Structure 1
Amino acid sequence: MRLLFVGDTVGNMGVSMLQEYLPKLKRDLKPQITVVNGENATAVGRGISQRVYKQIMSAGADVITLGNHAWNNAEILDFIDQTPNLIRPANYPGPDVPGRGYTIVNVNGKQVAIINLQGLVFMDNLNNPFDTINAILEQVGAKTDYQFIDFHAETTSEKMAIARYLDGRVSALVGTHTHVQTSDYRVLPAGTAFMSDAGMTGPYDSILGMQTDLILKRFITQRPVQFKVAETGSGILSGCVIDLSDRTGLATKIRPILINPDHPYSN
């Protein structure tokens, strides 16, 4: 089993990069399932709309994950309950959270659980992700062959900690949210693939997808600035591809994907 994961899609350029490169990646890498984080995918860089959801799915995603901006576009409440392949962090508190925190996809007779979790450090005060994933695995662990987690979190330590905690219990855990691809991809000792952050997909000539001059103004003046998604310049697509054992359901290999002017695409 091969899984392709693409990190935080930011703005119109992020969607355009998916439309241009996701078909090529799927053609050349031949993944059986493709997951895309779309929590920054609207034109303003926060949340997702139904139109953008359909664009990402049409580009080749099988499942779209979200994160701390899941609810920033109120339109999501109109369609998230009808879209089982759009998932939000599973550890939102309360009994009546719209949508779902995981989904199970049938791939050639194999059951693949795609799970979305959000960290707590420097983030919103959600339920403990360690407790949440234990509860989810009790429900789906025995009836799924593979388990992939998009862990949307700020700190590398929290991402590493939950990956170590789950080592051997899930197929892979990849971080999102910081928009900068990390070079710590590896298969942990008990067989779980891990990467602290897959990176972002969107404007390359930016600061984390936002217009550079506005971010600089914020740092220099220390006064509030309204951030805007960069709309010009070149693009970037970041992610990873993970190979999973058909026998054990654990990982055999993980490697990064990075496409930008300094790393042009080649198959």
Structure 2
Amino acid sequence: MADTISIFFVGDIVGDAGLEMANTFLPSLITKYNADFVIANGENSHEGFGTNRKIIKNLLELGVDVVTGGDHSFDKWKVFDYMREHDHILRPLNYPKGNAGLGFSVFPLKSNEAIKVGVLNIQGRTFMKAIDDPFSAAEWALEKIREETHIIFVDFHAEATAEKVSMGWHIDGKASVLAGTHTHIQTNDARILPEGLGYITDAGMTGSYNSCLGMDKKVAIKRFMTGVHQKYKQAKGDNQISGVLAKVDVETGKCVHIEPVTYPGLTNSIQG
């Protein structure tokens, strides 16, 4: 049995540009990083808002094991029945009871069913919808998951940096990895906390970086300048895959390595 497993997390897939990058490069990245388990946040994958069963099946065919969500998980109602029937599509656990889907589940590795990975999806409340407390929800879920495995990945979909950092400290020693999502900008703080939690405030976005968070930048600027709602459009160009690679000790569930990934990589110079 291997001492560690590699988990590859794909940051928020935004619209057609994000899906194009996943279809073109994700299988080769899975091979490059020798990933044993793959998670992708897909809540923005359908036209920039929500997802659908066709996209979910497409991601599974590419090698994704679990698709996580966020505040746009419920934007496309046609996916609700699929969410009720399958545990490989998650949505934030701390939405009120009665909503479609699951907030966490446990999955055996395809390569070794004796090793299981728990995945928890939760959502923050600061500057976001008034839903249930994510901290107590995480406590309850992690206790349940640890009855089956100590290898646990958390997608915390939240706006406020302070809320994400606080959650990291709150679950340090209770989970293996916490990757923040929602803000679409990859942060430079990937590290391992004292009790073994691999942490990054935001994993970044998979989609067009010729944009404002994956959407047309001219529309975004107009929204800010006028203070009036403008319909967002998907952006194109400078497409990237952003995410996180983590290695977790199989016996202890502690993270032993975490690094941000951006492919093919942002340029820091003007191209002449």
TM, length-normalised to structure 2: 0.93
- What is the alpha-carbon distance in structure 1 between the residues aligned to residue 51 and residue 96 of structure 2? 21
Equivalent residues of 1:234, 1:261 under 8 A apart: no
Q: Which amino acid aligns with 2:201?
A: S
Partner residue of 2:17 out of 4, 10, 13: 13
Shift in Å at residue 10 of structure 1?
A: 0.4
Q: Residue in 2 aligned with 1:103?
A: 105
Partner residue of 2:85 out of 78, 82, 85: 82
- What is the alpha-carbon distance in structure 2 between the residues aligned to residue 143 and residue 53 of structure 1? 26
Q: Does 1:167 align with 2:172?
A: yes
Secondary structure in 2 aligned to 1:256? strand
User: How does 1:184-195 map onto structure 2 within 5 Å?
Assistant: 184-195=189-200
Q: Residue in 2 aligned with 1:49?
A: 52
Secondary structure in 1 aligned to 2:154? strand
Measured against aligned partners, the alpha-carbon deviations of 1:152-198 in whole angstroms (never above 9, x if no partner) come to 00011000001101111110111000000000000001100000000
Measured against aligned partners, the alpha-carbon deviations of 1:233-261 in whole angstroms (never above 9, x if no partner) come to 23011001001112311100100100145
Equivalent residues of 1:2, 1:243 under 8 A apart: yes
Moved over 4 A (4+): none
- What is the alpha-carbon distance in structure 1 between the residues aligned to residue 63 and residue 96 of structure 2? 31
User: How does 1:192-207 map onto structure 2 within 5 Å?
Assistant: 192-207=197-212
Partner residue of 2:40 out of 36, 60, 68: 36
Partner residue of 2:126 out of 121, 124, 134: 121
Q: Does 1:218 align with 2:220?
A: no
Shift in Å at residue 70 of structure 1?
A: 0.6
- What is the alpha-carbon distance in structure 2 between the residues aligned to residue 77 and residue 248 of structure 1? 36
- What is the alpha-carbon distance in structure 2 between the residues aligned to residue 186 and residue 261 of structure 1? 21
Shift in Å at residue 98 of structure 1?
A: 1.1
Q: Percent identity?
A: 36
- What is the alpha-carbon distance in structure 2 between the residues aligned to residue 235 and residue 174 of structure 1? 21
- What is the alpha-carbon distance in structure 1 between the residues aligned to residue 53 and residue 155 of structure 2? 21
Q: Residue in 1 aligned with 2:144?
A: 139
Shift in Å at residue 60 of structure 1?
A: 1.6
User: How does 1:58-97 map onto structure 2 within 5 Å?
Assistant: 58-94=61-97, 96-97=98-99
- Number of aligned residues: 261
- What is the alpha-carbon distance in structure 1 between the residues aligned to residue 185 and residue 259 of structure 2? 15
- What is the alpha-carbon distance in structure 1 between the residues aligned to residue 143 and residue 9 of structure 2? 24
Secondary structure in 2 aligned to 1:117? strand
- What is the alpha-carbon distance in structure 2 between the residues aligned to residue 105 and residue 185 of structure 1? 25
- What is the alpha-carbon distance in structure 2 between the residues aligned to residue 261 and residue 162 of structure 1? 29
- What is the alpha-carbon distance in structure 2 between the residues aligned to residue 90 and residue 209 of structure 1? 25
The worse-fitting range, judged by mean Cα deviation, of 173-182 and 104-113 is: 104-113
Equivalent residues of 1:148, 1:173 under 8 A apart: yes
Shift in Å at residue 79 of structure 1?
A: 1.1
The worse-fitting range, judged by mean Cα deviation, of 62-71 and 79-88 is: 79-88
- What is the alpha-carbon distance in structure 1 between the residues aligned to residue 196 and residue 170 of structure 2? 12
Equivalent residues of 1:168, 1:190 under 8 A apart: yes
Shift in Å at residue 68 of structure 1?
A: 0.1
Q: Which runs of 5+ in 2 are unaligned?
A: 268-272
- What is the alpha-carbon distance in structure 2 between the residues aligned to residue 123 and residue 7 of structure 1? 19
Q: Does 1:248 align with 2:259?
A: no
Shift in Å at residue 142 of structure 1?
A: 2.6
Q: Does 1:130 align with 2:135?
A: yes
